[in-house]
Amino acid sequence: MMRAKLFLTTAMSLLLAMAPMHAVAQEISRERDPNAAVSVTERARPEYDPLGMRLGGFDLNASVGVGVTSTDNVFASETDAQDDFVTYVRPDISLRSHWSRHALGFRAGGYSDSHADFSQDDVTDYYLGADGRLDILTRSEVGGGVSTNRVHEMRTDPDTPLGIAEPVEYTRDNVYVYGSHSFNRLRLTARVERNTYDYEDTPLIGGGVLDQDYRDHDETAESLRAEFALTPRWAALAEVSVNQREYDSDPTRDSDGSFVGLGVAFDVTNLLQGNILVTQYEQDYDDPNIGTVEGTGFIGHAEWFPTQLTTVNVDAARTAEDSAFVGASYIETHVSARVDHELRRNIVLSAGARLENRDYEGFEREDDLVGVDVGATYRANRRVNFNANYGYRQNDSSFPGEDFEENRFTLGVSFHL
């Protein structure tokens, strides 16, 4: 924690010393540059984009997706893989303002599936949320949001408990507030966020119930980020963040953590844009079996536009995470890449890959996960979209019984307001 405070003091002193005293320097834009490159998936297609509905100062948009998925390893099992056929429904509705200043939005939706053979794996998820922004003059804004999410752990998550008869379900409630102010070329953003996790007990294979109350906890994080515009296309970044993780029934799992980071944000001639932070993280656990987990990490994102019809996205991060297993945590390192190509105005082809490593602290275990997918989206008109996808996932674990491979094929259609 002292390291984080020292870093923040030093970084902010350097940035403030570099900041001009007069407003003749370039300001960091609060809105995206209208001349900046736009990714294939975000690009406006007036002849195919849903119209939605105007309700006063708000835009109402709604959709429902339905489809079928075939899997050859529904339980992500190392041996005796079982195939299944799954149908799903995915509704979504949003209401967002289109005011010239300030913003307010609401969103709700969910996901429900039904298995042909293994109905115990049927799930119903949902989310409800609202967020808003208050513009203060031209240099400052404050905002926040609240949401509740009912979700489940995927069978393919190697950290999910062993021997369960049904997927683990839990509720995550989130609330956050932030404030941002620009001083000519320097922008400061402060943010406070709190997540509350409530896990449900899960039936075990062969009978009995696995108590999940030990996983119920609250996470609070506070951060301060500084962005200094060096040129119109380069900005220096500095960020410091602290967190507190508090468990309801097992205080030995409590921990306090922090990370400090330095990096850059860039936009190279509208062909390559993104940002990267190199961080020093530290998580101090009350459990002596884990102790202090620390190291050098990173958080980065890059978007490359090799042509106007192709977009490449790359994400990478290394962070310290809590494990579902008592007396353990893990360092997660991942890198992912996705390519989207506009074959025709209403046909987008996509392909992606993800590599992930989980190195556990507290007991001997290491997992290497690989995920690959390819797909296509066909926009028939403003109201109807068709999609097809193939996905492959593999886990190679040093822990017995955790290796698996899975192939998934999905066909779906979505209807839009």
pLDDT at 36: 65
pLDDT at 29: 37
C-alpha 59, offset from chain centre: 25
pLDDT at 138: 84
pLDDT at 250: 86
> Nearest-CA neighbor of 320 among 328, 330, 310, 311?
330
251: helix, coil or strand?
A: helix
Enumerate residues 6+ apart whose C-beta is below 8 A from 137: none
Q: For residue 28, give the DSSP letter.
A: P
pLDDT in tens, 140-158: 999 999 999 999 999 999 8
Residues in the chain: 417
> Nearest-CA neighbor of 257 among 293, 214, 307?
293
pLDDT in tens, 43-58: 889 999 999 999 999 9
pLDDT in tens, 226-241: 999 999 899 999 999 9
pLDDT in tens, 303-359: 999 999 999 999 999 999 999 888 889 999 999 999 999 999 999 999 999 999 999
Task: Output the pTM of the full model.
Answer: 0.86
pLDDT in tens, 254-313: 999 999 999 999 998 889 999 999 999 999 999 988 999 999 999 999 999 999 999 999
Enumerate residues 6+ apart whose C-beta is below 8 A from 91: 62, 63, 64, 65, 109, 110
11: helix, coil or strand?
A: helix
Q: For residue 161, give the DSSP letter.
A: P
| φ/ψ of residue 16, rounded to 5 | -70, -35
Q: Which two tokens stand for residue 116?
A: 């042909």
> Nearest-CA neighbor of 325 among 283, 365, 282?
365
Across 291-302, b (16+ Cβ under 10 Å) vs e yields eebbeebbbbeb
- 351-359: long-range pairs with CB below 8 Å, 24+: 351/375, 356/332, 357/332, 357/333, 358/158, 358/159, 358/330, 358/331, 358/332, 359/330, 359/331, 359/333
pLDDT in tens, 106-138: 999 999 999 999 999 999 999 999 999 999 988
Parallel/antiparallel/unpaired status of strands 58-71 and 53-55: antiparallel
- The answer, yes or no, to whether residue 11 has pLDDT greater than 60, is no
Q: Which residue has the tokens 């062993």?
A: 162
Enumerate residues 6+ apart whose C-beta is below 8 A from 75: 81, 82, 118, 121, 155
- The answer, yes or no, to whether residue 19 has pLDDT greater than 60, is no
CB 106 within 8 A of CB 94: yes
> Nearest-CA neighbor of 383 among 51, 46, 45, 40?
51
More confident: 184 or 240: 240
More confident: 303 or 8: 303
pLDDT in tens, 194-217: 999 999 999 999 889 999 999 999
d(CA 105, CA 92): 14
More confident: 176 or 19: 176
In order of 32, 122, 265, the CA distances from 307 in angstroms are: 20, 42, 22
pLDDT at 267: 92
CB 261 within 8 A of CB 279: yes
> Nearest-CA neighbor of 274 among 320, 312, 325?
312
- The answer, yes or no, to whether residue 401 has pLDDT greater than 80, is yes
Q: Which residue has the tokens 């002849």?
A: 47
pLDDT at 324: 87
Q: 33: pLDDT confidence band, cut at 50, 70 and 90?
A: low
More confident: 17 or 48: 48
pLDDT at 88: 97
In order of 22, 104, 318, 378, the CA distances from 11 in angstroms are: 21, 34, 22, 48
